[in-house]
């Protein structure tokens, strides 16, 4: 005879299951709160990309793309500026020569995930695998060990964070952005958006490819770039990659201790 649990025991079992599901959901979505700029700025300055007060970190997402990335490399070379390029693993596999060209040009390459998708459902094991897979592609193809990880759409999850730690990557988002992925962006709007929140020690987010933006949006970014570089220099700020920015170690994600910048903030 099969014995069924009594109402009290069944309720306890249901409560335990519900608690486990709630804990799993919190682990998955908890780090996503860091997407909010005020949260990062106050509690997680390293994740916000805060570094040396006399320096601005220039970063680009979503490449490499042979239709657009070489134009950015050319403009940066003309202005003798190096940047950090967050690469999508699947795109790097398709365009390995371009990844190597970025490194040859003195730029820093970092990890933007294997695919550029939103974490709609908890898939921790897949998240870990894909971050590690992307990091391995950067290491193997570009011949350099990546230091940084920026998740697609800037949304961290428990799985993505675990993958970054397994791959030896430091998560970093941004302090200001150009909103350069929209269909109505132009050089003027991109420049104005970046300068609205730009300060010494900040990290700038731009895009060198439009695979997940409005078609041709990269042209607005490219048009804004010379003016942005001139503005930074006019303010007495040097511009370069994250590796020269002095970002603190990110320890203060949900459930972690507060991070300490390696140098004073702005």
> What residues are paired with 57 via a beta bridge?
203, 240
CB burial class (10 A; 0-12, 13-18, 19+) of residue 121?
A: exposed
CA 86 to chain centre: 7
> What residues are paired with 58 via a beta bridge?
204
The residue count of the chain comes to 266
Residue 57: CB atoms within 10 Å = 29
Helix (H, G, I), strand (E, B) or coil at 216: coil
Catalytic residue among 28, 48, 61, 112: 61
State how far the Cα of 45 lies from the Cα of 164, in Å rounded to an integer.
18
Query: Contact, 94 vs 129, CB < 8 A?
Result: no
State how far the Cα of 116 lies from the Cα of 134, in Å rounded to an integer.
11
Helix (H, G, I), strand (E, B) or coil at 238: strand
Q: Among this protein's residues, is 116 annotated catalytic?
A: no
Q: Among this protein's residues, is 61 annotated catalytic?
A: yes
Catalytic residue among 127, 207, 210, 245: 207
Query: Which residues participate in catalysis according to the annotation?
Result: 61, 207
């Amino acid at each position: 005879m099969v014995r069924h649990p009594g109402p009290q025991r069944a309720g306890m079992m249901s409560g335990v299951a519900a608690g486990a599901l709630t804990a799993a959901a919190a682990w998955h979505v908890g780090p996503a709160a860091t997407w909010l700029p005020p949260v990062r700025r106050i509690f997680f300055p390293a994740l916000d990309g805060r570094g040396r007060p006399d320096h601005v970190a220039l970063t680009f997402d979503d490449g490499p793309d042979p239709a657009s990335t070489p134009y950015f490399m050319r403009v940066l070379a003309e202005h003798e500026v190096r940047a950090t390029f967050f690469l999508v693993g699947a795109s790097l596999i398709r365009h390995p020569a371009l990844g190597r060209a970025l490194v040859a040009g003195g730029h820093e390459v970092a990890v933007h995930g294997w695919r550029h998708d939103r974490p709609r459902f908890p898939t921790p094991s897949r998240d870990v695998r894909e971050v590690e897979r992307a990091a391995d592609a950067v290491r193997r193809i570009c011949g350099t060990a990546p230091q940084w990880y920026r998740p697609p759409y800037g949304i961290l999850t428990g799985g993505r964070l675990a993958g970054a730690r397994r791959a030896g990557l430091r998560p970093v988002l941004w302090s200001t952005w150009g909103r350069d992925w929209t269909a109505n962006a132009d050089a003027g709007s991109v420049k104005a958006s970046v300068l609205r929140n730009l300060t010494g020690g900040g990290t700038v987010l731009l895009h060198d490819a439009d695979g997940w933006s409005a078609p041709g949006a990269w042209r607005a970014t490219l048009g804004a770039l010379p003016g942005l570089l001139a503005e930074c220099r006019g303010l007495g700020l040097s511009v370069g990659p994250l590796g020269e920015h002095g970002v603190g170690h990110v320890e203060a994600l949900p459930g972690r201790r507060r991070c300490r910048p390696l140098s004073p903030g702005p």
